[in-house]
Chains A and B, each alone.
Chain A
């Protein structure tokens, strides 16, 4: 058996936990003696212990120190309470009226919005103009029932009157995406929840069929953070409280390269129907 730097770095945990066999431990010792890099790697880990020892000793000194002055936390708490009350009073006065008061959960999801505002505004504008156009009759026709006037109002009001952005999703690593990130691609997104195995299976089927196409993006979106459903490979995203173009769990939306909605429908249909509908919709977009 040969022990090199790579072996040491991959087995650093075992080395530091003393869980190596006698033979391996001897080989590692030999290697460390010759290799300055691995030696410094291990020594720097051990150096942490020295720091921690010092830290703990200091904490002891603090804890055992007699007669340390105590801050009167009662006063601090009272001050904090007064400050909070003041802030609340001011913010309540600034609210124009209860009707426009966004529901509490939405408020929290708008928190990341300011940083992305320009993008979001553009998004909502593009979807607003899109709604002004006569949309294909679909399950979401109701969304466009407001007509041009409502669309214009929505565009003027920024993201939305309810305060929720149009489309912000997060991948498991925590990076968020907006429609802006999918410009130039055909986007298929399906919204699912754990109680809809058919929807999950359908998204998976779509991904298996069309996923190899580089100009098409397929994502499955859940409203809560969910674990990967069993036997699925499609990319999983979480909704950050956005309206997802009014798609509810069990529905899918297909957008073309410009971000315009091409097709909406239910994921709770028999797979063959769904695939046929999708194929017909993707044909004009030159995606097989």
Chain B
């Protein structure tokens, strides 16, 4: 199977990984694109000791983390978030359809969740969000992040614990 068909097949999966890894969902598309380009260039280094989608996911995670680190994007993101805090105008709202809001969606609580989730260090944030993806299991998360399964579990635990504390504090 050539790379292109494989990439097409795994694209939606990679998109999920990118959404979980990126702090800003609007970056996900770019991240997948960049990861696929890198994967295509480096396919000769793929030894086949893990499924291709896991290998590509690793690239996606790395690209997503670097994406966030880049200084220019940090500035952008800062503007992005300050906009979001005060107005309804862009970011999540653009993709936010009204029928979702009818389901008693508490927008302010959601902004809070987003803020607190994004405050988690990558090590803890990634396993927690990946677990929430459909069809991603702990062994797979461990393989993508290249850490032992026990570590994945304990990081998920600490992420939950911290979110519980920070979100609980706000609610009170």
Which residues of A are in contact with B by a Cβ distance under 8 Å? 12-13, 16-19, 44-49, 51-56, 58-65, 68-69, 71, 73, 76-77, 80
Contact present for B132 and A63 (CB under 8 Å): no
- For B, the interface residue count at a CB cutoff of 8 angstroms equals 43
Contact of A61 with B157 at beta-carbon distance under 8 Å, contacts A17-B150, A48-B164, A68-B26 already known? no
Q: Please, could you name 8 A-B residue pairs with CB atoms under 8 Å apart, sorted by A?
A: A16-B153, A17-B154, A17-B157, A52-B131, A52-B163, A58-B110, A63-B18, A73-B76
Q: Is the CB of B154 within 8 A of A61?
A: no
Task: Give the contact stretch, choosing among B1-9, B38-46, B54-62, B93-101.
Answer: B93-101
Q: Tell me the B residues contacting A by CB distance below 8 Å.
A: 15-16, 18-20, 25-26, 28-29, 72, 75-76, 79-80, 90-92, 94-97, 100, 110, 113-114, 117, 128-129, 131-133, 150, 153-154, 156-158, 160-161, 163-164, 167-168
Q: Are B132 and A60 in contact (CB under 8 A)?
A: no
Whole-angstrom distance between the alpha carbons of A146 and B79 in the complex?
Answer: 50
Contacts of B75 in A (CB 8 A): 77, 80
Q: Take A60-B16, A61-B100, A62-B26 as given contacts and tell me if A48 and B92 are in contact as well, using a CB distance cutoff of 8 Å.
A: no
Per the bound structure, the CA–CA distance linking A63 and B94 in Å amounts to: 10
Q: Which residues of B contact A62 (CB under 8 A)?
A: 25-26, 91-92, 94-96
A53-B25 Cα distance, complex, nearest whole Å: 14
B164–A45 touching, CB < 8 Å: yes
- What residues on B are CB-neighbors of A73 within 8 Å? 76
Partner of A49, one of B95, B100, B114, B160: B160
Smallest CB gap from B155: residue in A: A17
Nearest A residue to B16, CB-CB: A60
Distance of A28 from chain B, by nearest CB (Å): 15
Please indicate the chain B residues that have their CB under 8 angstroms from the CB of A44 in the complex. Answer: 164, 168
- The answer, among B20, B92, B128, B131, for a CB contact under 8 Å with A58, is B92
Determine whether the beta carbon of B95 is less than 8 Å from that of A68: yes
